[in-house]
Structure 1
């Protein structure tokens, strides 16, 4: 909600948000009252960023249409802008071509060697774009939901961070993709409610214990991508 205070219909105090998942919010009060749809909720314009639970180090610059993450030492990392997200919906270019631009930007902004996006279609996760892996295999590599670290994230509907992927028991070797050269890995599902749209992966050449900041970055990116992806995937 982008303005206004939602108050408890029982005692009149300010209600606090409690996020259930990407799309569902419960509201609770100190007096014990809880509701899924708060009384007299103001009607406002839709802001896709608002449905993401913001940690305190996320800042939205609405006038520029940009969301930023504040890292250690007040270092700023700019996420995808509204303009970039709109491009995915409005461009007449193939979705795979647009996603290839997105993964490159994510990799550059996060400072990792690999970023890939898998899309969930017909019960499988198919590589739709990659920066850092073998691009000739885009559209040709598919994983079952539950297969490998990527499939595990998809099946369990949660982000997974692995410091050394090849040593992880969930690791699944894909011939010719080139993943075996990379060790650190974050895999985060792209969810529309509980519906699985795909998975975002980032990988590093060296073993890496990813920081909370880095994991939040990937989580927020996955959350943002669901808005344009669900529209483009409807169109095929």
Structure 2
């Protein structure tokens, strides 16, 4: 009886060993694959310090994760922009022609790209698209990873209003009014100086006297600094 029990146990152990061995082969015998890592939606909120800069873009990043073993050598991959029909306004993104995964001692690495700042317009402050691995690009050296991690939603919006805005200085707030202030002074609200108040008022008078169209606030009325 004991011999029968030992025989049955031996068969079970062999079966488990074979099953584990097959799983190991399945797990580590894959070609290199890559996925976006983290949330499937990345929200980038542009603030006043992003818009006061002379550069027309903001720098952002995404993280990728290697699927499977650590890489043994550097490997390139490509990312493209695709339309996200959940957004009426698309994002103008500047990507590298290719990115190179170099962190061979880990499975995650951060990469950078640029977002052309959307023009501040009333009612159009949310923009979106997909970042997606460009599997058909000849420079792309990874096979497709997880379907749900092959693309990432990029949601871009702006929130310019300073926390400390005071109506008694420039009147009621509007994004267009604040943009004019930043363009004239090349400073954000927290860095404005006393003389900037008269500077902005004079600049707007000269702007109108030069025949330029009035700047409108969110309510559709012309802005004023009185």
Q: Shared topology, TM-score over 0.5?
A: no
TM-score scaled by structure 2?
0.20
